[in-house]
Amino acid sequence: MRRLAAALVALSGGCGAPAGDACAPYPGQTCVALLLDAPAGAAVTIDQLELQSATDGFPVDQLTPAQPKQVALPVTVAIVPRAGFRSDFSLLARGLLAGKPIDSATVSGTLAPGQHLEVEAVLAPLDAADGGAPGG
């Protein structure tokens, strides 16, 4: 994974909705607080998130945390693009367990410089029979 112009904080989560604002440590900076949850009634544990975006100025291609650590969904992560980023973005998040993708979600939004944006998504289980596409 390449580490590009984005800062990611470690996963935090488990046991109900994550507390606090994931972007609070980044006052005055553009930040996306990404909340990822499991489907209703499902108990899902991951040990890393793979985050990818090819949006110009919002380059993300990273695993978080760097060292796998099991955590139950929901999880939050802060994504800080390069200074002055203003545009639409799209981001793919994959939940990993033991290095293998088990679920994914795509999120998108529009950011202005200095804005903190909260984005939520449900990680859909991947179907191994169709090459890992969501929803099978």
Name the pLDDT band for 83 (thresholds 50, 70, 90).
confident
In the sheet with 87-97, reading across from the earlier edge strand, the strands are 60-64, 48-53, 87-97, 100-111, 124-127, 133-134
Q: How wide is the angle at C-alpha 31 spanned by C-alphas 28 and 34, nearest 5°?
A: 150
Q: What percent of the chain has pLDDT over 90?
A: 59
Which domains does the chain possess? 7-17+29-129 (2.60.40)
Q: How wide is the angle at C-alpha 70 spanned by C-alphas 69 and 76, nearest 5°?
A: 85
Instruction: Please say if the pLDDT value at position 10 is more than 50.
Output: no
Nearest-CA neighbor of 6 among 92, 96, 83, 114? 83
Q: 65: burial class by Cβ within 10 Å (0-12, 13-18, 19+)?
A: middle
Averaged pLDDT of the chain: 81
Q: How far is Cα 57 from Cα 75, in angstroms, rounded to an integer?
A: 25
**pLDDT the model gives residue 110:** 94
Return the structure tokens found at 61: 């291609």
Q: How far is Cα 15 from Cα 47, in angstroms, rounded to an integer?
A: 15
